[in-house]
Chain A
Amino acid sequence: MTEVRISHLTKSFGAGPVVDALSLTIGHGEFVSLLGPSGCGKTTTLRMIAGFEDADSGVIAFDGSDVSRVPAEKRDIGMVFQNYALFPHMTVAQNLAFGLEMRKIPAAEIRTRIARVLDMVQLGTMTERYPSQLSGGQQQRVALARAIVIEPRILLLDEPLANLDAKLREEMRVFIRDIQRRVGITTVYVTHDQAEALSMSDRVVVMFGGRIAQTGAPADIYDRPATRQVAGFVGQVNVIEGVVETASGEGGHVRLPFGTIEAPRIGAATPGARVALALRPEAVSLVPPAGAGWQGRVVSRHYGGNLVDYRVAMADGTVIHAQTFPTTQFEPGAEVGVHADAARLWPLGD
């Protein structure tokens, strides 16, 4: 297992920096996702860790030794590419043997190691197939096997599930994470899919514009987003703005354009100041209209099977997004009471 320490990593292509003074430490055996929209610098960061791109400045160290000037072929990394990049003229076994042959491993050991890894990815019977004879999911598993059979120090995955259909993608999330735990390898996973990042990672690094916006465990990122941008990118969110009327402890009483709420946390805001609160749609529930509390009118309803999606227009025109279980449903146009789970409110920075 290897610890990766990145400090002040910067890379520019022409115009502005793509990766801007990025610092990050990835612990032994940790699974870290770099999550962000396209162009946020996540792939460039991964390519610099792999050694495919040289950094303009900054240091990448594996277990304390600087590898910034070490070429990719000497860094001892395993990489899984978005399009798998399997060698089309080689069988599955030959694809897996390639990295071992480069390391001058004896033929007998190559055979046993290939057999063991193919077993792990459940492709033991496919050794003599060519990549073009495999399904997308199978190719994906061969790519993973080829990367781990060399027992690299670090496993890098670049949007490996982007080309698979939805159902297979969910299976592969569990599969990849399971293999990563069994091998115990330090892993960096690049994705723009927040569901992948949240479900697979020990830690998620959210990036915008070449900088880290927030780092934390999946639940931290989701429930306690640092900024509006993070809250908006990781899942869906209502950002409601109001004025703090009174503060008590960490929380306070907040006046909103369509009502009031007792927020358990208001961040650094003081009475009289404006505050922006994140409220996840699943923390909003709809009830038959009552005299007290927030009132609204259902604008639209989208049935999603396990959840129903509502847009509710409040008295002042603010639209609140709510996701509820389909047990009780409201028709568009219906007057409803809107109830927010105050414990799930989180103050956002800028």
Chain B
Amino acid sequence: MLSRLFTGYCLIVYAFLLAPIFVVVAASFNAGNFLTFPPQGLSLRWYVVFFENEVFMRAIRTSLWVAALTACISTVIGTAAAIYAVRHAGRMKDTVRVAMLAPLLLPEVLTAIALLFFFYAVGMGTRTMAGMVIGHVVITLPFVFMNVVASLESFDPALDLAARSLGAGRYARFRRIMLPLIKPGVIGGALFAFIISFDTFTISFLLKGIGTSTLPIQLFDYLRTNFTPEAAAVSSVSIAMTIAVVVVIEKVLGLRIHRF
């Protein structure tokens, strides 16, 4: 009885989470001229409009580039920070941890304004994509850090000693022993960084360079003057891309390491 209640409860939660996605995807197949639900007739016409829209296509390319760069940089820095915090920080461990998670505690808009002032103060401004990527790295770092810390906590330090006793230097120990064992955390962190960067609005809005609008910004711009199902098509493609990235990375790199 209790387990049936629990199953029902889970279903309600899932419905709550997934219903908006369902509505958006359904609305994108609308044949009519306005963003309505339920859709009026079935058609792919708004997808065609979207894929022929040069502005949206450029925004998607920008978004993918920024997300990929952010994921790479964030993963390297976040992994290094996590290894330091867990293995080498000693009594400083909690301090390092709080410092690394600080970006989560600040409202994103404050982080963005602070970075904006900083970029102008150092003369970098926001003419290029660099500022936005740095901003994305700042907000995604805690996610990489937390993921890698979690997998490092279950890494047995004796394995490192065993590898040392067998003659392995620092690099060989990292490459052959630690990295394969914390891989799920590293990849999980990279996925978070990619998805958060791909979806984030506030940071991008304030830090975007000239002609470097990401998809969420372009969509926001579009919705200010239009209300066609093209917006739903954009969202659906964005959702599909996010899912595709997760699936591809899972298949190629594997989120599991042990056979058992």
Contacts and interface: CB of A to CB of B under 8 A. Distances in A.
Question: Do they bind each other?
Answer: yes
A72 B167 CA distance: 8
Given A130-B259, A132-B258, A87 B162 contact: yes
Interface stretch (B59-67, B131-139, B153-161): B153-161
Interface string A70-84: 011110111101010
Interface in A51-99: 51-52, 71-74, 76-79, 81, 83, 85-89, 98-99
Nearest to B161: A52
B181 interface: yes
A86 B169 CA distance: 18
B159 A85 contact: yes
Contacts of A72: 161, 164-165
Main secondary structure of the interface of B (DSSP, over half): helix
Contact of B181 (A52, A77, A83, A89): A89
A86 B165 CA distance: 12
A102 B258 contact: no
B130 interface: no
Nearest to B180: A89
A103 interface: yes
Nearest to A130: B259
Nearest to A76: B167
A161 B163 CA distance: 21
A81 B165 CA distance: 11
A99 B172 CA distance: 11
Interface in A287-342: none
A89 B257 contact: yes
What is the size category of the interface that chain A forms with chain B?
20 to 34
A248 interface: no
Q: How big is chain B's contact interface, by range?
A: 20 to 34
Contacts of B159: 85, 87
Contacts of B169: 73
A73 B177 CA distance: 15
A147 B164 CA distance: 12
A266 interface: no
A79 B162 contact: yes
A150 B166 contact: yes
A163 B164 CA distance: 23
Interface in B162-185: 162-169, 172, 176-177, 180-181
A146 interface: yes
Given A89-B180, A130-B259, A102 B162 contact: no
Nearest to A129: B259
A276 interface: no
A99 B177 CA distance: 12
Contacts of B181: 88-89
A130 B258 CA distance: 9
B156 A99 contact: no
Contacts of A74: 167
Given A73-B164, A76-B167, A130-B260, A98 B176 contact: yes
Given A130-B258, A132-B260, A83 B165 contact: no
B258 A85 contact: no
A77 B163 CA distance: 11
Nearest to B173: A73
B167 A146 contact: no
A254 B66 CA distance: 91
Contacts of B260: 130, 132-133
Nearest to B177: A87
Nearest to B160: A85
A50 interface: yes
Contacts of B165: 50, 72-73, 77-79, 147, 156
A73 to B, nearest CB: 5
A73 B168 contact: yes
Contacts of A78: 165
A248 to B, nearest CB: 56
A85 B177 CA distance: 11
B259 to A, nearest CB: 6
Contacts of B163: 87, 98
A83 B156 contact: yes
Interface string B204-237: 0000000000000000000000000000000000
A52 B257 CA distance: 28
Nearest to B169: A73
Contact of B156 (A52, A71, A85): A85
Given A83-B156, A85-B156, A52 B164 contact: yes
B118 to A, nearest CB: 42
A78 B156 CA distance: 18
Given A52-B164, A98-B176, A156-B165, 15 more contacts: A72-B165, A73-B164, A74-B167, A81-B161, A85-B156, A85-B158, A86-B162, A87-B159, A88-B181, A88-B258, A98-B168, A99-B168, A102-B166, A130-B258, A132-B259
Interface of B: 156, 158-159, 161-169, 172, 176-177, 180-181, 257-260
Interface of A: 50-52, 71-74, 76-79, 81, 83, 85-89, 98-99, 102-103, 130, 132-133, 146-147, 150, 156
24 contacts: A52-B164, A73-B164, A73-B166, A73-B169, A74-B167, A79-B161, A81-B161, A83-B156, A83-B158, A85-B158, A85-B162, A86-B162, A87-B159, A87-B162, A87-B177, A88-B181, A89-B180, A89-B181, A89-B258, A98-B163, A98-B166, A99-B168, A130-B260, A132-B260
Report, nearest first, the 7 A-B pairs whose CB atoms are least far apart.
A99-B166, A102-B167, A85-B158, A85-B162, A79-B165, A72-B164, A73-B164
